[in-house]
Structure formats: C-alpha cells, structure tokens
Amino acid sequence: MTIFFHWSEATPDIWRNALTAENIPGDLRFVEDPGALSDINYAVVWAPPQGLLRQFENLKYIFSIGAGVTHITLDPDYPSEVPIVRLQDRLLVQDMSCHIIHWVLHFHRYYARYRQYQGEKKWLRHRYPENSSRRISVLGLGQTGQDACIRLSDLGFNVTGWARSEKTIPGVRTLASNDAFDTVVREADILVNLLPLTPETTDLLDAGVFNRMPRGSFLINVARGSTVVDADLLSALDCGQIEAAALDVFREEPLPADDPYWSHPAVSVTPHAAAPTNEGSAAEFIAGQIRIAMDGGRPAPIVDLARGY
C-alpha cells in the first residue's frame, strides 16, 4: 500500500506519525521521487501538479488537504472517476467561525471608526445597534455555515441561513430555494458568503445582489473569489451601497499587486487565511479515513461532483 503526498508547506513527520498511529503500513512518496506510479493507491494532496494524478493508474481515493477541492478539480486532466474525500476538520470549522465572528463584530460595532479617530487623536465613542437588531445572512449551510450560524445566534444576532436544499439549525431561521435567496439578500445587514464554487454560484454576487441589500450593509467573503463580480462590488463600495467588505478569497491568488482591492479604503484583505489547515488535526482526520478505506469501508465526506462539493 503506497500513499502519494503533496503539500509544499507540510511537515512530513506529522503525517508519518498520524499514519503510524492508525497502523497504516507502506510508503509515503513525494513528487521529487514518486517511484513506480502504478504502486500508488491513495493521494493526499494540496494543489498537485496538473496531470500528475491521472498517471496513478491504481489510485483508489484522493484526499484533499483542505475543505475546498477546486485545487484538484480545476486540473483539466484529473481522474474524475476517482472519489475525492475533502477535509472535514473540527479545528478548521472553529477557525472559520472565529474569522467570521471577528468581522461581524468589527462591522457591527463600527470599529473602523475608532481607527480613524485614533489617527485624528479624538477620544470619541459612538453607539451601535443591539445585537438582536443586526440581521446577518449566511449563504451556504455546510458544516462550516451551520457552525457559524449557531455561534452568531448564541451572541444574540438575528441570523438567517440560506442553502439550495432544506436545512434545520436549532434556534436559527433557515431558508432554501432561489425564491428565498431574494429575501435573504434584502434582509442582509451583513452578508456572509460560504457558498462552494459551482456553475450556479460563479458570479452570483453581482450588482443585482448588492443593490438589493440594505444601503450601508457589509460583505464578508470566505468562500471563493469567483462567486463575486469584482467590478460590481467595487462600484457598490464606491457609492456607499455596500459600506465595507472583508475579503479572504480572490479570483487570482496571490492577489496581484495592482489589484484595486489592496488600496480601497473600504476593503480589508486577508490572504486566504480565515481557516488555514491545522496539520496535526488534518493528518489525524485523513489518516483515519485512509484506515477506513483500507478496512473496506467508504471514507467521508466524498465530494459530489454533480454539485461540486
């Protein structure tokens, strides 16, 4: 049994130790010296070289070192017949919720004004609404979206979650269907985007969406950059329809030096850092799923390629 591993930022010993803890025998091979490609049964990867996975003729599963899988599926020659198991890590979910809560509080309590006051040496306080009157709409109710909804609701915010299929979250209003999407957008004082990138969500957040949101609302995007029409968001920010945006993901990453987001006064840029993979917990999760596969079970969660996630 042979495992191919590819992640440029990895600490190999962490992964070897996790595999050993699950009593998983065999080789751990790397792109520098993969050996006989026909030996490889499992691939544990982040952004593998294009065309490489197709060469593993006896590949049984691909394990993504991250919740997203477009780093695999955007390869035009990746082996689509091989199931992809995406990372479902409790620390990743927790970190994403922490990032979202940070920006919700930042926008809700207008903390940007204090930075301005500091520069002007003003000792000035301002009022902000009660949490219960701030309407937060969360798009995408996978594990991360559900966790964020629950945590924001626990803080007393007025939370609505939206997904294409029906979901139930205790204490949170949830809506589904395209018709309900309009309601969610119109009520979004703060819009949190956690939608996966699919043909249906590409360019979903456009001028039509921004113009339907309450004037002076906020956007938090931690999903995928291509779900947002950048020119439309910049226009909405310039005219004050959207007061500010916290963007963690972009169409092109790293964000080019000449991109207008860098210098826009109403945009906060973070470098796809909302929930970086925790090596220890990710290695434990993936090793556990490989063990399940070796024992004849089916690892999870397996990506539904028809839905794109």
- Single-letter amino acid, residue 127: R
Contact status, residue 151 vs residue 97, Cβ threshold 8 Å: yes
Q: Which of 99, 272, 291, 298 is catalytic?
A: 272
Number of helices and strands in the chain (H, E): 9, 12
CA 9 to centroid of chain Cα atoms: 19
Q: How far is CA 281 from CA 20, 65, 276, 284, in A?
A: 14, 11, 12, 5
Is 272 catalytic? The answer is: yes
Q: Which of 6, 29, 108, 224 is catalytic?
A: 224
Is 224 catalytic? The answer is: yes
DSSP for 66-88, please give it. Answer: SS--HHHHTSTTS-TTS-EE---
Q: Which residue has the tokens 């092109």?
A: 252
Contact status, residue 197 vs residue 70, Cβ threshold 8 Å: yes
Contact status, residue 5 vs residue 21, Cβ threshold 8 Å: no
CA distance 203 to 197: 9
Which letter, b or e, does each residue of 101-111 get, where b requires 16 or more Cβ atoms within 10 Å of its Cβ? bebbebbbbee
Please name every residue paired with 173 in a beta bridge, in sequence order, or none if there are none.
160
- Residues with Cβ < 8 Å from 85, sequence gap 6 or more? 61, 62, 63, 64, 286, 289, 299, 300, 301, 302, 303
Active-site residue numbers? 224, 272
